[in-house]
Amino acid sequence: MEEEAPQEDEAPDEEPDETPAEEAPEEEPEPRPRRSRRASAADDGRRGGRRRRGRREEPEEEPEEEDEYEEPNLADIAEAYGGGRSSRKKAKELKRARANAGKGGRKRRRRSRALTIVLALVLLLVVAGGGYAVIRTYVLPADFDGQGSGETVFVIEQGDAGSVVGENLAEAGIVASPRAFLNALDAVPEEELGSGLAPGTYSLAQGMSGEAAVAALLDPASRVGGRVTIPEGLRTDGIFERISEATDLSVEELDAAYAQTDELGLPDYATEGPEGYLFPSTYRFDPGADALSVLKTMVTQHTQVAEEIDLEGRAEALGYDANEVMAIAAIVQAETGTKEDMPLISAVVHNRLEEGMQLQMDSTCFYVLGEEGTFLNDEQRASCEADPRGYSTYGMTGLPAGPFVAPGQDAIEAALEPADEDYLYFALVDPENGHTGFSTTLEEHNQMVAENQAEW
């Protein structure tokens, strides 16, 4: 292969800082710029002398270096513009523009930092103001001192929450703020609070502290209205007499309300009406309360107790429904005068039902006859056997149609938990103290009755 003529050496590159277009005496010489890789490679080629034609050696790859930005000097910029006085002038202008641009960026950054600080201060003020509002509202609310003065009638409606009561108290001028009342209410121990604020009418004062208002609403003495105690074992007519004596309601008004069975809120198992479901307890009825609301309150009390003791579930476990258990409880309540004897009376009832015996409870016969008494005579027994309503336990087996007196919780519990005894008979042996004697055979029973009646 024919060799090409050797190429003439190129003139060496001029160093940009050795041959400036014109010297500017007023300027100091700029530092020499770094040579580019291309220039370095060319220099290396020149230093290596002439190369053989046909073998072009590739420059060795140098390790890549991280790009580092360096501000170009005037000489670099001037060379980029072709050298000469005009080029150096343009270079000065470009560098000055870049410097000014940098100053503008710094100014923008300073403005950005200042704006951030201002916003942070504004946010801090907002948070601090909100914290003060929270403290002012919840920790240090407006409050009066002491028990207040004067007299104000205040009503808590059924279903009113504590927050509603607090708002109503503040609107009435009784407390300074709802939160003062709620803070005091929250401070009451749970065992003292009980079931909470009871609906009703209260006598309070103007300008009471939140603590004083809470104490008054939890004090039964602050209630306004008729206070009536309904003892266990009363029939409906006896209950109405007690209510009428303590309120402005007449027995006739109560009778009329009693007939509105669909409006009384009776449980589904009260199939024979409200008899026995007006729960015995102490009530305070508000002034102006109507007869229907009074009876509904008593039925509601029964329902609450029944739910607490799981009346329906436990009755089903015994093989009865809740109305039948209430009938047993009425017998237990009417036939004994002591709590200790109640489970034993219940055992007699359960045992006789299991044996298929007539219950023959005198209390049911007195109810059918509309009389009160302790012992039945033969004429009374004969009269009550023909009871069309099914309440007499003479002349028939099974339970009465429903409760015929108002049993209390102890009697209901005894009906659900009879004593584990085989007794089939009982008789009153101590009328003065209400104690009862029990026996398993008719002979023992008759002997016990004869002995005790001889002593009376």
- Measured distance CA(243)–CA(251) in Å, rounded: 8
More confident residue, 224 or 36: 224
Instruction: Return the residue matching tokens 């607090």.
Output: 166
More confident residue, 134 or 93: 93
Tens-digit pLDDT profile for residues 199-233: 888 999 999 999 999 999 999 888 887 789 999 99
From residue 408, give the alpha-carbon distance in Å to each of 117, 155, 280, 301, 365.
73, 29, 6, 11, 21
Mean predicted confidence (pLDDT) in 386-401 = 92
Per-residue pLDDT at 342 exceeds 90: yes
What pLDDT, on a 0 to 100 scale, did the predictor assign at position 185? 95
Whose CA is closest to 271, among 328, 326, 332? Answer: 326
Residues above pLDDT 90, as percent of the chain = 53
What is the pLDDT confidence band of residue 449, given thresholds at 50, 70 and 90? Answer: confident
What pLDDT, on a 0 to 100 scale, did the predictor assign at position 2? 41
Mean predicted confidence (pLDDT) in 396-405 = 96
Per-residue pLDDT at 243 exceeds 70: yes
Per-residue pLDDT at 278 exceeds 90: yes
Per-residue pLDDT at 35 exceeds 50: no
Maximum mean pLDDT: which of 33-47, 97-111, 422-436: 422-436
What pLDDT, on a 0 to 100 scale, did the predictor assign at position 121? 74
Residue 65 phi, psi (nearest 5) = -105, 150
- Measured distance CA(250)–CA(263) in Å, rounded: 19
Per-residue pLDDT at 316 exceeds 70: yes
On the CB side of 339, CA atoms within 13 Å amount to 5
What is the pLDDT confidence band of residue 111, given thresholds at 50, 70 and 90? Answer: low
What pLDDT, on a 0 to 100 scale, did the predictor assign at position 288? 80
- Measured distance CA(196)–CA(164) in Å, rounded: 13
436, β-bridge pairs: 428
More confident residue, 428 or 279: 279
- Measured distance CA(380)–CA(367) in Å, rounded: 11
More confident residue, 327 or 19: 327
Average pLDDT along the chain: 81
Whose CA is closest to 322, among 259, 415, 232? Answer: 415
Per-residue pLDDT at 370 exceeds 60: yes
Per-residue pLDDT at 12 exceeds 60: no
What is the pLDDT confidence band of residue 385, given thresholds at 50, 70 and 90? Answer: confident
More confident residue, 206 or 42: 206
CB atoms within 10 A of CB 90: 16
- Measured distance CA(427)–CA(449) in Å, rounded: 7
- Measured distance CA(393)–CA(372) in Å, rounded: 16
- Measured distance CA(329)–CA(349) in Å, rounded: 10
Q: Could you say which DSSP state residue 139 is in?
A: I
What pLDDT, on a 0 to 100 scale, did the predictor assign at position 132? 46
CB atoms within 10 A of CB 303: 16
Instruction: Return the residue matching tokens 């938990």.
Output: 417
Per-residue pLDDT at 101 exceeds 90: no
Mean predicted confidence (pLDDT) in 342-355 = 98
What is the pLDDT confidence band of residue 161, given thresholds at 50, 70 and 90? Answer: very high
CB atoms within 10 A of CB 359: 20
What pLDDT, on a 0 to 100 scale, did the predictor assign at position 387? 85
Whose CA is closest to 181, among 206, 211, 136? Answer: 211
Per-residue pLDDT at 122 exceeds 90: no
Mean predicted confidence (pLDDT) in 127-142 = 58
Residues above pLDDT 70, as percent of the chain = 71
Residue environment code for 197-227, b if the CB has 16+ CB neighbours within 10 A, otherwise e: beebbbebbebbbbbbbbbbbbeeebbbbbe
Q: Model-level pTM greater than 0.75? A: no
